[in-house]
Amino acid sequence: MSQLEALIFDVDGTLADTERDGHLVAFNMAFKDAGLDWHWSVELYGQLLAVTGGKERIRYYLNDFYPDERGQAFSMPGSAQKSTDFDQFVAGLHASKTRFYTQLMADGAVPLRSGVVRLIQEARDAGLRMAIATTTTPANVTALLSHTIGADSIDWFEVIAAGDIVPAKKPAADIYIYALEKMNLKADQCLAFEDSHNGLLSSNGADLKTIVTINDYTRDHDFSGAELVLSDFGEPDQPMTVLHGNCDEPYFNLQSAQKILQS
């Protein structure tokens, strides 16, 4: 039976509610700044989340909502210049969104979810290895962690598998496979932490046992491949709710993690 060696964390929706309070806000700021009259509501964004990756999401939105404008000239973000290079336009708009997002993180717009710092600290104290496996841009991960846990906390994670580092984003398993390969670990030595159906498909696709913490965007997703589905990781004075699976402890800790790996 394998020992637990590492925890691999998704970021958006798992470590923090970054989608609604960070990414969505930053997308809308970037649209406005580029002089576009697009505005994504909280509800519409819930639908757009089916497409992972910010650039991919913008492309999907344009194809779906403005199919006739795809071939037209767009004003390039930050300049009066117009371009018909669609990929360049999307890349520029997305870079602007990343700047707004990292500034929001610097302003402290999004706290970490209940139990996240405790669990990460417990893992560190126990000498467990940790990695990140996310669809978002690397700069966004650094901004979130450094402005919540602290400046050097990004170094606590030995692999930051993020963004375009693999060509196929979640629900493809590539990002988790990449993290496992970089750490030279097998799936049965690790646990993954996710918040969404696409994320779970990705971690399960890499054969990782996965614990899901739900949020408002994902509570109705299909989590049938998860070992445990929780409201959050919880704290001693703020117990979690177990929605699926077995966990005796009132909050998710390393003891719970060991049990899950060996179940």
Q: Interface residues with Mg ion (CB under 5 A)? A: 10, 12-13, 195-196, 199
Chain residue whose CB lies nearest Mg ion: 13
Q: Does 12 participate in catalysis according to the annotation?
A: yes
Size of the site for ligand XBP (CB under 6 A): 19
Most distant pair of Cα atoms in the chain: their distance = 62
Given candidates 96, 102, 137, 210, which one binds ligand XBP under the rule CB under 6 A?
137
Q: Minimum CB separation from ligand XBP for residue 236, in Å?
A: 27
Residue 9, CA distances (Å) to 103, 111, 158 in order? 23, 16, 12
Dihedral class, residue 38 (left if φ above 0, else alpha if ψ from -120 to 50, else beta)? beta
171 touches, from Mg ion, ligand XBP, none (C-beta below 5 to 8 Å by class):
none
Q: Minimum CB separation from ligand XBP for residue 25, in Å?
A: 12
Residue 15 one-letter amino acid: L
Q: Is 130 helix (H, G, I), strand (E, B) or coil?
A: strand
User: Which range, of 62-70, 76-84, 131-139, 239-247, touches ligand XBP by CB under 6 A?
Assistant: 131-139
Q: Minimum CB separation from Mg ion for residue 219, in Å?
A: 13
Q: Minimum CB separation from ligand XBP for residue 53, in Å?
A: 5
Residue 168 one-letter amino acid: A
User: Which range, of 4-12, 113-121, 123-131, 216-224, touches ligand XBP by CB under 6 A?
Assistant: 4-12
Q: Does 232 participate in catalysis according to the annotation?
A: no
Whether omega before 171 lies within 30 degrees of 0, making that bond cis, reads: yes
Q: Please report how many Cα atoms fall inside a 13 Å half-sphere around the Cα of residue 250, on the Cβ side.
A: 5
Q: How far apart (Å, rounded) are the C-alpha atoms in residues 159 and 191?
A: 15
Q: How far apart (Å, rounded) are the C-alpha atoms in residues 191 and 195?
A: 14
Point out the residues that are catalytic: 10, 12
The residues that touch ligand XBP, with contacts defined as CB under 6 A, are: 10-13, 19, 23, 52-54, 97, 134-137, 140, 170, 196, 198-199
